Amino acid sequence: MSLLKLEALSKKFGDHWALKEIDFSIDEGEIVGLVGPNGAGKTTLFNLIACRHRPTSGRVLFANEETTLCKPHKIQKLGISRTFQSSRPFAKMSTLDNVVVGRVFGGEFHLFAQSTDIDSARQLLELVGLAHKEQTPAGDLTLSEQRRLDLARALATQPRLLLLDEVVAGFSPVAVKQAVDLVRRVRQRGVTLFIVDHFLSLSLRVSDRLLALDHGEKVAEGRPQEVMRNREVIRAYLGTRYEDE
């Protein structure tokens, strides 16, 4: 059964079609990579799923429920969580508090954070390898640490679907390898993942399927190797000269 279903989703900014008639669906438990060159519409697609923008036409269905017109804070309650292309930590709050925020507002509301909230926040910091920094203000973390914190915070809301936007951009090969392990562990927790990854370093290794976009249109979908052999995808990434090689 599909967890997320996009039906003819389109978004127009001014005269420019950022996305055009995207049909796609993701099954529960899958890891799907979203690839495409700059300006292909990847982040726009995420913003539509996360209800930051409203589509010009088309529908988004999550767990068979239409979410096209939800408010951003509401979509999280239904089980979609996200990280941001440029990470957005709560800079002056401690690393632990950052994750606690996700836990507290993702779950049932209490006036005060419960000790179980703090415990599970600690476990998530452990998972992303930030346990030793729990009292550091999030703004003082390095870029890669902030990305992992973003991930921990998103996971803390206990999503069914997690949208990862460029989590490994600028990472060293070692850090990318760690991220691959991390993403697999996240999947083991029963989370479905949708990953934007411009340089393919993460999505090629972990994805079950890829969705390739170019100029706002779907050019290919399927198993990673197939998609990467697709002529349109090669042309989109490398230009026409490499098409026949």
Which residues contribute to the site for other proteins (CB under 8 A)?
50, 52, 72-73, 76-77, 81-82, 84, 88-94, 96-97, 100-102, 104-106, 109-113, 118, 134-137, 140, 153-154, 156-157
In angstroms, the first-to-last Cα distance of the chain is 39
What minimum distance in Å lies between the beta carbon of 98 and other proteins?
A: 8
What minimum distance in Å lies between the beta carbon of 155 and other proteins?
A: 11
Closer residue to other proteins in complex, CB, 148/209: 148
Closer residue to other proteins in complex, CB, 97/221: 97
| Burial environment of residue 92 by CB neighbours within 10 A (0 to 12, 13 to 18, 19 or more) | exposed
What minimum distance in Å lies between the beta carbon of 56 and other proteins?
A: 17
What minimum distance in Å lies between the beta carbon of 77 and other proteins?
A: 6
Closer residue to other proteins in complex, CB, 163/227: 163
Closer residue to other proteins in complex, CB, 90/199: 90
What minimum distance in Å lies between the beta carbon of 49 and other proteins?
A: 12
C-alpha distance from residue 98 to each of 30, 82, 95, 121, 226 (Å)? 27, 14, 5, 9, 40
Q: What does the CA dihedral 148, 42, 238, 16 come to, rounded to 10 degrees?
A: -150
Nearest 5°: phi and psi at 13?
-105, 110
Closer residue to other proteins in complex, CB, 18/227: 18
